[in-house]
């Protein structure tokens, strides 16, 4: 089979409700591009009819390809599976829930080809459809991330983007256990552009990103990119030492003046402060040690159980 010029990677986790809508909007856009394409639907271990529906739809839409992961491995791992298996000269990653309008793909491709860009970010211009809480937490996330990777990361750029083959190959070479593409993509420093779009409401189904997963993504993002949080221990220690020096003078003066210090309050504050800051530092250290542990185990982030292109059996993809 000829290699398609464009790949569209769509991670899907329990997306049966939105699939028919997605196909009816995506297909006309892709058919209208006037080039060969493949749609890589990555079923991230869905427990509903997602995979069965994609298989059925393939009968009418041969460009649709099903890559099925054996178990739910998470959004970023599903993206990895799709990226690693995509074949196009350009690869677009897009969510299944139609929050990212498929029509924008044409614009991204046009821009990439006209200006020879390796990355075209989809940037959310208007997030009015998101809840206030989601917008506030997202804002905080981007501020933090831009401090870490610098201004190359456009604020509001999510996982809707176009990548060139060269860029996908570069990403493949990274031995990351938990790749966070939002950071890795700008970090590689390829020429990039952006297309602004309006983030729509999820067309059907429910969000697969509860607060706990958002916190995980933030922790992963920070820890996979910087060791700066480890310095917290040094700062806390320095502040503690300074406070200790001041308190020592006060306590010693009082002692030699023969005053008995009623120390219950101050003593318990000191103990609580020290205990808490030590536990925080220990927890931070643990996070990094955990990454080292997983890094040494080097288990693949996902297992492909089925790929409709190759009809291959079980086969681990080592990132």
Residue 14 interacting with Mg ion (CB under 5 A): no
CB of 293 to ligand UDP, least distance (A): 23
78 is in the binding site of which of Mg ion, ligand UDP, none (Cβ under 5 to 8 A by kind)? ligand UDP
Instruction: Say how far apart CA 269 and CA 243 lie, in whole Å.
Output: 12
CB of 183 to ligand UDP, least distance (A): 17
Residue 53 interacting with ligand UDP (CB under 6 A): no
Size of the chain in residues: 319
CB of 225 to Mg ion, least distance (A): 24
96 is in the binding site of which of ligand UDP, Mg ion, none (Cβ under 5 to 8 A by kind)? ligand UDP
* Structure token digits, residue 89: 């000269």
- Position of tokens 């860029």? 167
Among 104, 208, 281, 307, binds ligand UDP (CB under 6 A): 208
Over the chain, what HEC string results?
Answer: CCCCCEEEEEEECCCCCCHHHHHHHHHHHHHCCCCCEEEEEEECCCCCCHHHHHHHHHCCCCCEEEEEECCCCCHHHHHHHHHHHCCCCEEEECCCCCCCCCCHHHHHHHHHHHHCCCEEEEEEEECCCCCHHHHHHHHHHHHHHHHHHCCCCCCCEEEEEEEEHHHHHHHHCCCCCCCCHHHHHHHCCCCEEEEEEECCCCCCCCCCCCHHHHHHHHHHHHHHHCCHHHHHHHHHHHHHHHHHHHHHHHHHHHHHCCCCCCCHHHHHHHHHHHHHHHHHHHHHHHHHHHHHHHHHHCCCCCEEEEECCCCECCEECCC
Instruction: Say how far apart CA 305 and CA 302 lie, in whole Å.
Output: 10
Residue 96 interacting with ligand UDP (CB under 6 A): yes
Instruction: Say how far apart CA 61 and CA 54 lie, in whole Å.
Output: 10
Instruction: Say how far apart CA 122 and CA 111 lie, in whole Å.
Output: 12
CB closer to ligand UDP, 68 vs 208: 208
Question: x/- contact string, 291-310, with ligand UDP (CB under 6 A)?
Answer: --------------------
CB closer to Mg ion, 86 vs 99: 99
Which of the ranges 90-98, 188-196, 251-259, 261-269 carries the binding residues for ligand UDP, by CB under 6 A?
A: 90-98
Which of the ranges 79-87, 98-106, 187-195, 284-292 carries the binding residues for Mg ion, by CB under 5 A?
A: 98-106
Which of the ranges 58-66, 70-78, 172-180, 252-260 carries the binding residues for ligand UDP, by CB under 6 A?
A: 70-78
CB of 84 to Mg ion, least distance (A): 23
Among 38, 44, 97, 159, binds Mg ion (CB under 5 A): 97
Residue 159 interacting with Mg ion (CB under 5 A): no
Residue 86 interacting with Mg ion (CB under 5 A): no
Among 14, 80, 99, 192, binds Mg ion (CB under 5 A): 99
CB of 303 to ligand UDP, least distance (A): 14
Among 4, 74, 82, 122, binds ligand UDP (CB under 6 A): 74
Residue 199 interacting with ligand UDP (CB under 6 A): no
Among 6, 41, 54, 78, binds ligand UDP (CB under 6 A): 78
Give the interface with ligand UDP as residue ranges (CB under 6 A): 11-13, 15, 44, 72, 74-75, 78, 95-97, 99, 202, 207-209
């Amino acid at each position: 089979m000829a290699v398609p010029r464009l790949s569209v990677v769509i991670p899907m986790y329990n997306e049966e409700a939105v699939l028919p809508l997605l196909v009816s909007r995506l297909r006309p856009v892709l058919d209208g591009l006037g080039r060969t394409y493949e749609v890589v639907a990555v079923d991230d271990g869905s427990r509903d009819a997602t995979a069965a529906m994609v298989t059925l739809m393939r009968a009418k839409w041969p460009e649709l390809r099903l890559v099925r992961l054996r178990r739910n491995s998470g959004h970023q791992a599903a993206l990895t599976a799709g990226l690693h298996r995509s074949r196009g000269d350009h690869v677009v990653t897009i969510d299944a829930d139609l929050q990212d309008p498929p029509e924008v793909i044409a614009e991204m491709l046009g821009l990439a080809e006209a200006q020879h860009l390796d990355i075209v970010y989809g940037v959310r211009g208007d997030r009015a459809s998101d809840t206030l809480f989601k917008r506030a937490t997202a804002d905080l996330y981007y501020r933090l991330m831009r401090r870490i990777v610098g201004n190359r990361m456009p604020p509001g750029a999510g996982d809707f983007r176009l990548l060139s083959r060269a860029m996908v190959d570069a990403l493949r070479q990274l031995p990351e256990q938990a790749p966070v593409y939002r950071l890795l993509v700008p970090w590689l420093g390829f020429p990039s552009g952006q297309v602004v779009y309006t983030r729509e409401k999820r067309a059907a189904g429910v969000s697969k990103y509860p607060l706990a997963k958002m916190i995980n993504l933030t922790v992963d993002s920070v820890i996979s990119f910087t060791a700066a949080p480890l310095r917290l221990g040094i700062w806390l220690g320095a502040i503690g030492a300074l406070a200790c020096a001041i308190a020592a003078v006060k306590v010693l003066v009082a002692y030699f003046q023969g005053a008995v210090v009623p120390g219950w309050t101050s003593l318990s504050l000191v103990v609580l402060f020290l205990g808490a800051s030590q536990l925080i530092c220990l927890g931070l250290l643990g996070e990094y040690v955990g990454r080292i542990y997983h890094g040494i185990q080097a288990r693949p982030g996902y297992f492909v159980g089925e790929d409709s292109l190759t009809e291959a059996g079980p086969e681990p993809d080592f990132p």
